[in-house]
Amino acid sequence: MRLIMPNPYFKFKRFTIYHDKCAMKVGTDGVLLGAWTNVNTSKKILDIGTGSGLVALMLAQRCEASITAIDIDSEAVEQAQININASNWKNRMEVIHTDLCKYSPQNQFDTIVSNPPYFIDSLKCDDIQRNTARHNDTLTSEQLFENVSRMLCPEGEFSLILPFEQTESAISTGEKHGLYPTKHTRVITRPGLPPKRSLLAFKKHPEEYIPQDLVIELERHVYSEEYIALTKEFYLKM
């Protein structure tokens, strides 16, 4: 789900995201993940595939944790660094140009987030940078969960957003690597429509949970109370 914007930037209440140099633009997926992720006890956060730095900045606004944002794309890293440097939280944020599979941090993280590539079967475009951001050739689900398991502390939590139809596959892959679902929100664009996205949280020990639904719009440009409550600290017009 993407927001269509002609400008090279998107202005939020407390920060601005320039996204003209990176492949993936500001979109609803990133906003949902940044607003939904639990950061109540977070001290060290890792954002995998940061892109413009949107999710990292949203988390910085919501907590006092130190945040590391990584991306394999050099132009995305440059863009994220510009956006972070212009924010009020730059002193506790860092951006690293690296391949997740080669990244070896000194310490584990208590919170890890990712808005991963997910267009597994779709046709590829000619833009290599955009392919990297949207297709999982460079980062498979197996690699994502394997490396999250390696870097997540014993009581930590991993949150991600992905297409609803990939939910069961993600849960299966996570459990294979010792990560178990503890929270699931089904994102529905409008009442009566099937879920479009899944917001999932994983931990290293199983917990019982009941899936929840989040409806974004009641009708065109009329947002649900739940969506407004989730995003009002970020969107200018909420």
| 161-216 pLDDT tens trace | 999 999 999 999 999 999 999 999 999 999 999 999 999 999 999 999 999 999 99
Report, as an integer, the average pLDDT of 2-9.
Answer: 64
177: burial class by Cβ within 10 Å (0-12, 13-18, 19+)?
middle
What is the pLDDT at residue 118?
62
227: burial class by Cβ within 10 Å (0-12, 13-18, 19+)?
buried
Dist. CA 5–CA 16, nearest whole Å: 14
Its pTM stands at 0.90
Confidence of residue 6 (pLDDT cuts 50, 70, 90): low
Q: What is the CATH number of domain 9-231?
A: 3.40.50.150
What is the pLDDT at residue 7?
81
Please say if the pLDDT value at position 131 is more than 90.
no
| Cβ-Cβ contacts under 8 Å for 101 (sequence gap 6 or more) | 139, 143, 147
What is the pLDDT at residue 134?
41
Please say if the pLDDT value at position 106 is more than 50.
yes
Among 196, 199, 149, 156, smallest CA distance to 174 is for: 149
Confidence of residue 22 (pLDDT cuts 50, 70, 90): confident
Dist. CA 192–CA 22, nearest whole Å: 34
What is the pLDDT at residue 122?
36
